[in-house]
C-alpha cells in the first residue's frame, strides 16, 4: 500500500488508522507513506504513526516533487510484489481496497492488468466534477485507455509492471494509457467517494489544464512509438 502525503497533517493519522482497520486480518500488507516534502507537521505526524502502526514505513522526499514522483519513490521502496495506491486526502475509503485486490487477482490469472477505482458519484465541487468529466472524455478519445476515471487514487497493479513504465512528471494521471501501451488490461471497479474532511486540495482547473494537455500529447507520442518486448525462446 503506497500513500503520498503533501501537507496533510490533519488527515494522516485518521487515514492510516482506517487503512489498518480495513486491511488487518484480511490481507498481508506493508504500508508505505511518502512525505512529499511537506512544509506543515505531516512529517512529525508520520513519525508518531510509525511508532504505533507496525506495518508502516515512511519514505521522505527532501522537497516537494509532485504526486507522480512521490508514488514512484514509494513503489520503488516497497517490498511487496503487488501495489495498491491511495490518495492522502482521505476522500477514497480504504474499505474499497480489498475489492480492487480481488478484481486484480481474478484478472491477473489471464493477463497482466491495472485495476482502477471508478468514482461514479463524486463529492467535489461542480467545477471540479465538470473539469474531470471533460478531461476524462478527451483523454479517453485521444488515448483510448478505456478508463472512465483515470484520476481516482485507488489503483492496484504489479510492482514490476509499474517499474517497467516510462516515468515522467504527472504520469499518475495517465497510468491506464501507459499500462495499455505495455499490453495490459485495464479494469474499472466502482468505488465510494466522500468529501474532504481536512486540509485543502492541491489541484485545480488552472494548474491542471495546460500541463495536462501537454502531457496528453506526450503520452500520445509514446503510444505511437511503443516498442514491446514480446518473444519466444526455443529450448535446445
Residue listed under C-alpha cell 477514497: 92
Please give the pLDDT value at position 111. 87
Instruction: Provide the pLDDT for residue 127.
Output: 64
pTM of the model: 0.87
> 14-43: per-residue pLDDT in tens?
999 999 999 988 888 999 999 999 999 999
154-166: per-residue pLDDT in tens?
999 999 999 999 9
Q: Is 45 exposed, middle or buried (0-12, 13-18, 19+ CB in 10 A)?
A: buried
Residue 3 predicted with pLDDT over 70: yes
Confidence check: pLDDT of 202 > 70: no
Report CA torsion sign: 107, 113, 115, 120.
negative
The torsion angle over the Cα atoms of residues 152, 158, 163 and 167, rounded to 10 degrees, is -20
Amino acid at each position: 500500500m503506497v500513500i503520498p502525503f503533501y501537507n496533510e497533517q490533519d488527515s494522516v493519522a485518521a487515514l492510516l488508522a482506517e487503512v489498518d482497520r480495513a486491511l488487518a486480518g484480511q490481507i498481508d500488507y506493508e504500508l508505505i507513506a511518502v512525505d512529499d516534502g511537506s512544509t506543515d507537521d505531516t512529517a512529525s505526524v508520520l513519525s508518531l504513526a510509525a511508532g504505533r502502526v507496525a506495518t508502516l514505513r515512511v519514505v521522505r522526499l527532501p522537497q516537494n516533487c509532485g504526486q507522480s514522483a512521490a508514488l514512484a519513490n514509494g513503489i520503488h521502496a516497497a517490498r511487496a510484489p503487488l501495489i495498491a495506491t491511495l490518495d492522502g486526502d482521505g476522500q477514497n475509503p480504504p474499505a474499497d481496497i480489498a475489492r480492487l485486490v480481488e478484481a486484480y487477482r481474478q484478472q491477473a490469472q489471464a493477463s497482466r492488468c491495472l485495476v482502477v477505482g471508478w468514482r461514479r458519484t463524486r463529492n467535489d465541487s461542480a467545477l471540479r466534477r465538470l473539469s474531470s468529466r471533460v478531461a476524462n472524455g478527451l483523454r479517453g478519445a485521444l488515448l483510448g485507455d478505456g478508463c472512465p476515471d483515470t484520476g481516482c487514487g485507488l489503483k492496484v497493479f504489479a510492482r514490476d509492471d509499474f517499474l517497467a513504465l516510462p516515468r515522467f512528471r504527472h504520469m499518475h494521471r495517465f497510468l491506464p494509457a501507459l499500462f495499455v501501451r505495455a499490453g495490459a488490461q485495464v479494469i474499472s471497479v466502482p468505488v465510494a467517494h466522500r468529501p474532504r474532511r481536512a486540509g485543502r486540495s492541491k489541484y485545480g482547473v488552472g494548474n491542471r489544464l495546460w500541463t495536462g494537455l501537454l502531457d496528453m500529447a506526450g503520452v500520445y507520442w509514446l503510444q505511437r512509438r511503443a516498442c514491446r518486448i514480446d518473444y519466444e525462446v526455443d529450448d535446445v
